[in-house]
Amino acid sequence: MRTFRLTILSIVAFLFIVSCKKDDTEAPVITITSPLEGSTHTAGQDIPVIGVVTDETELSEVRIQNTAQTLSDKLKFVIDLKITNPDTITPGNYFFTVSAKDAAGNASEKTVNFTIVK
């Protein structure tokens, strides 16, 4: 009888702990440190794209423009790449977008606008 009560108590405690788990309502945080919003770049010079995407629980997807990135760390994704900027590019306004989604389906997006000059 004592074992039965201990088993029931253990099951109730387990269900209580599991049911108290908080829902993930926070979207991933996207921080871009390069290029800066509104920056100007010269045609023919590559543009470094540097930043980080973080989530308090678990990242499930990070996209830069239309390219899905492979996630090796579920809490943080480091962005470190270059935008090739040929001499023949048409001067003007350009942008790129980083989007991220976590395991709960919360999503965020950040767009950086920049200008190319000759």
Would residue 108 count as lying in a domain? yes
User: What CATH number should be reported for the domain holding residue 41?
Assistant: 2.60.40.10
Confidence band of 79 (pLDDT split at 50, 70, 90): very high
Would residue 13 count as lying in a domain? no
Percent of the chain clearing pLDDT 70 (strictly above)? 77
Would residue 87 count as lying in a domain? yes
Would residue 6 count as lying in a domain? no
Would residue 9 count as lying in a domain? no
Does the model's pTM come out above 0.85? no
Mean pLDDT, residues 86-106 taken together: 94
101 neighbors 61 (Cβ within 8 angstroms): yes
Please give the residue that has the higher pLDDT: either 22 or 97: 97
Alpha-helix residue ranges (DSSP H) falling in the chain: 2-19
Q: How much is the mean pLDDT over the chain? A: 86
Which range marks the domain in which residue 63 is found? 24-117
Would residue 105 count as lying in a domain? yes
Would residue 78 count as lying in a domain? yes
User: Residue 82 has which token pair?
Assistant: 């270059």
How many domains are there within the chain?
Answer: 1
Would residue 76 count as lying in a domain? yes
Could you report the per-residue pLDDT of 18-73, keeping only the tens digit for each? 455 578 899 999 999 999 999 999 999 999 999 999 999 999 999 998 666 777 78
What b/e string do you get for 59-98 counting C-beta neighbours within 10 Å, with b at 16 or more?
bbbbebeeeebebeeeeebebeeebebeeeeeeeebebeb
